[in-house]
């Protein structure tokens, strides 16, 4: 579905990614792990069009999306969350999720001007309902009318994911969705990721938490200093000497 082909990314003299290739398959939870600074966020930035690659290509099905701008890639069905990102505190939870729809159906300017204040237009109502439905997937629809600022960090992470899920992308890139969360909350994120896969979105999860991906991912790619050092099942990764060395250091 999504193919990364020999992608390199240089920042001046720093090589953040070196000839990295891997495939994201439909309906498979793909984990990307690696130590700090190994290039995990950079590969997401390249896929989502936020950073130009130095060399290599990225294909969505048969379409070469390497040179496409971020908004177009998003419209083609690749969405992402950001590491450590937050909600808009002055918007309600449901409004935060609504803001994830890239192109609210063509809004009728005249209607917007002349309708009574506080009366929602039909397309707004539709969008609102869709956002509540999305919150239901995450079991946080009870919090729909709370302010973004009222939620604790774990809840805010869920809403952030809901904001990306509402547009039903083909691929959802999640950058450290469990960062800063405790064990139980991390498990909950794992369950959510499986749910996302079950509704037909292919999740790609960046994490440096090996345990979390062991329990969640079907397949993983391991990066170390910008290079792919392993790909395969989580079980195989645990036995791979290069992975263990990158993670645990030489004994």
Contact window for ligand ATP (CB under 6 A) among 34-42, 52-60, 113-121, 124-132: 34-42
Q: Does 224 bind Mg ion (CB under 5 A)?
A: no
Shortest CB 84 distance to ligand ATP, Å: 9
Residue 117: other Cβ atoms inside 10 A: 4
- For every residue of 109-154, DSSP letters joined together read HHHHHHSPTTPPPHHHHHHHHHHHHHHHHTT-GGGTTSBGGGS-HH
- Going 148 to 153 to 158 to 160, the CA torsion angle's sign is positive
Question: Distance between CA 121 and CA 151 in Å, rounded?
Answer: 28
**Length reported for the chain:** 251
Site for ligand ATP in 64-93 (CB under 6 A): 83
Among Mg ion, ligand ATP, none, what binds residue 16 when CB lies within 5 to 8 Å by partner kind? ligand ATP
Q: Which of 37, 75, 146, 227 binds ligand ATP (CB under 6 A)?
A: 37
Only one residue has tokens 């294909």, namely 59
Question: Distance between CA 162 and CA 98 in Å, rounded?
Answer: 9
Buried b (16+ CB within 10 A) or exposed e, 37-51: ebbbbbbbbbbbbeb
**Site size for ligand ATP, by CB under 6 A?**
13
Shortest CB 103 distance to ligand ATP, Å: 28
x/- site string to ligand ATP, residues 119 to 158, per CB under 6 A? Answer: ----------------------------------------
Q: Which of 18, 29, 30, 42 binds ligand ATP (CB under 6 A)?
A: 42
Q: Does 14 bind ligand ATP (CB under 6 A)?
A: yes
Among Mg ion, ligand ATP, none, what binds residue 152 when CB lies within 5 to 8 Å by partner kind? none
Q: Does 11 bind ligand ATP (CB under 6 A)?
A: yes
Shortest CB 9 distance to ligand ATP, Å: 8
| Token pair recorded at residue 118 | 């506080």
x/- site string to Mg ion, residues 15 to 54, per CB under 5 A? Answer: -------------------------xx-------------
Return the percent helix, strand and coil in the chain, to nearest 5: 40, 25, 35
| Token pair recorded at residue 164 | 């990306």
| Token pair recorded at residue 176 | 């450290």
Would you say 79 and 173 are in contact if contact means Cβ atoms under 8 Å apart? Answer: yes
Binding site for Mg ion (CB under 5 A): 40-41, 83
Q: Which residues bind ligand ATP (CB under 6 A)?
A: 11, 14, 16, 34, 36-42, 83, 208
């Amino acid at each position: 579905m999504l193919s990364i082909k020999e992608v390199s990314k240089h920042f001046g003299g720093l090589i953040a990614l070196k000839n990295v290739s891997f495939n994201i398959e439909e309906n498979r939870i793909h984990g990307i792990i690696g130590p700090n600074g190994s290039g995990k966020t950079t590969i997401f930035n390249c896929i989502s069009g936020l950073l130009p690659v130095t060399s290599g290509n990225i294909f969505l099905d048969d379409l070469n999306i390497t040179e496409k701008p971020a908004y177009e890639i998003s419209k083609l069905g690749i969405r992402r969350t950001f590491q450590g990102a937050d909600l808009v505190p002055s918007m309600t939870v449901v409004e935060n999720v609504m803001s994830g729809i890239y192109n609210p159906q063509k809004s009728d300017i005249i209607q917007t001007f002349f309708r009574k204040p506080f009366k929602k237009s039909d397309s707004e109502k539709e969008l609102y309902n869709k956002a509540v439905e999305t919150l239901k997937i995450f079991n946080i629809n009870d919090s729909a009318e709370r302010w973004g600022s009222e939620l604790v960090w774990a809840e805010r992470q869920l809403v952030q994911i809901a904001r990306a899920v509402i547009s039903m992308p083909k691929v959802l890139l999640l950058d450290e969705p469990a960062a800063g969360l405790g064990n139980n909350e991390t498990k909950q994120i794992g369950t959510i990721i499986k749910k996302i896969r079950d509704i037909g979105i292919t999740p790609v999860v960046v994490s440096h938490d090996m345990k979390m991906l062991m329990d969640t991912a079907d397949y993983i790619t391991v990066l170390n200093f910008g290079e792919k050092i392993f790909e395969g099942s989580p079980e195989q990764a645990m036995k791979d000497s290069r992975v263990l060395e990158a993670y645990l250091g030489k004994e």
